Structure 1
Amino acid sequence: MAEVKIQAESRTEFGKGAARRIRRDNKVPAVLYGHGSDPVHITLPGHDTMLALKTANALLLIEVEGGESHLALPKQVQRDPIKGFIEHVDLVIVRRGEKVQVEVAVHLEGEAVSDALVVTEHASILVEAEATDIPTHIVVSIEGLEIGAQLHASDLTLPAGSTLAIEPDTLIVNVTAQPTAEQLEADTEGGESADAAAEPVAAAAE
């Protein structure tokens, strides 16, 4: 994974008011921590940060004014629930050659047999990899899988240098039969009956 270089500024103002002023300038308040060092409060450029964090587990080279630099991974990204802009970023400092545990997305590839319903039980899995060589995703082939087939974590082919950090028997993909029209209709009728039965109870509670 290539490093994304981001120029940062030291931050000395804190609190909601300071954070609002930073965001008005199209910047993002952030904090760097890890390896026993004191937290480093910084401000990141909004546009560059947004582009960098579009990649999961982006490896960032944070260059702080004054010459100090840190290699870091995003730990927590807070976004505005309505507009979606980045409000704050927590970054964990890593070192070259260091092993880290990260969630990596599972990408399904291929098609199961007809009339099969493929259920992804885990959209991502926890793996251990070098901080500078984190896979962007794990490809899982479902080509030709029959109804009743299951894929567990131990069945996945991980990129070189990555190892599982979850139980090998964790179910990742489950292939079942697609529900028939009659089953769907029965489920719908069952739901309507349950709703109707609940109405008198609700009325009595009032």
Structure 2
Amino acid sequence: MADKIQISAETRTEFGKGSARRARREDKIPAVIYGHGDDPRHVLLPGHETALAVRNPNALITLDIEGDEQMVVPKDIQRDPIKPWIVHLDLLAVRKGEKIVVDVPVEVIGEPADGYEYMLDQPSVPVEADALSLPDSVSIDITGRNENALPDALILPEGTELALGDLESPVVSIYEPQEQPLEDEDAEAAEGGSPEAEGEQSGDSEGDSDAE
């Protein structure tokens, strides 16, 4: 289940690029909290502590915002394309007993039937679960399978429901690998040479005979 982490935060009162740069110099991450129809709430989070927390993208975080506690889960993590830091976070406010939709990774269990191989088509799927009990992943068992594994084959934790609209696309494709036929030239080479090469050899022999 999702981690439960406590982080102290402070209200953000300055905005703009200059403010964001100062925040980064102080190892702080700008973030916005939204949800439940409330006005967005802008905060600053401790950089290192927050970066560790959101390594699990569905971490349940309890923010202490100057004495006011608010539970949140990450919804969007904006990272610098070059430097190893988080530029901004969008956080979804959640309450105890509330169900939310999050994307979770799919773990494949087992191996398909003999002579078959598999490909994971959907590395993650959306699920709906209690905000306080978000799963870290869901699994799908392909042991002995010789046909595709569809979403109905996913093994979901208790209290978790699939929030996927398309139920016909495979989560895991099961297939028999096909031998690749040799190219024409390779086939000819395997038989002892191409007609052009044989013709050249024949011509060379005749030329040698004339020379004699």
Normalization by structure 2: what TM-score? 0.80
**Structure 2: gaps spanning 5 or more residues:** 185-212
Percent identity of equivalent pairs: 42
Give the deviation of 1:120 after TM superposition. 1.4
Alignment partner, residue 174 of structure 1: 173
Is 2:141–2:153's contact at 8 Å kept on the other side of the alignment?
no
> Matches of 1:112 and 1:37 in 2, distance apart?
49
After superposition, the C-alpha distances for 1:18-66 in whole angstroms (9 at most, x for unaligned) are: 101101111111111111111111110111111111113111101112x
- Aligned-partner SS, 1:171: coil
Is 1:56–1:136's contact at 8 Å kept on the other side of the alignment?
no
The structure-2 alpha-carbon separation of the partners of 1:114 and 1:17, relative to structure 1 and needing over 3 Å to count, comes to: farther
- Aligned-partner SS, 1:61: strand
After superposition, the C-alpha distances for 1:146-198 in whole angstroms (9 at most, x for unaligned) are: 2xx11111121210000111143342111112243437x79xxxxxxxxxxxx
1:161 pairs with 2:159: yes
Is 1:3–1:60's contact at 8 Å kept on the other side of the alignment?
yes
> Matches of 2:70 and 2:140 in 1, distance apart?
34
> Matches of 1:25 and 1:180 in 2, distance apart?
59
Give the deviation of 1:118 after TM superposition. 1.0
- Aligned-partner SS, 2:20: helix
Residue correspondences, number: 182
Give the deviation of 1:115 after TM superposition. 4.2
Alignment partner, residue 125 of structure 1: 125
Alignment partner, residue 144 of structure 1: 144
Normalization by structure 1: what TM-score? 0.82
Alignment partner, residue 51 of structure 1: 52
Provide the alpha-carbon RMSD of the alignment. 1.8
Moved over 4 A (4+): none
Is 1:72–1:91's contact at 8 Å kept on the other side of the alignment?
yes
- Residue identity opposite 1:153 in structure 2: P
1:6 pairs with 2:7: yes
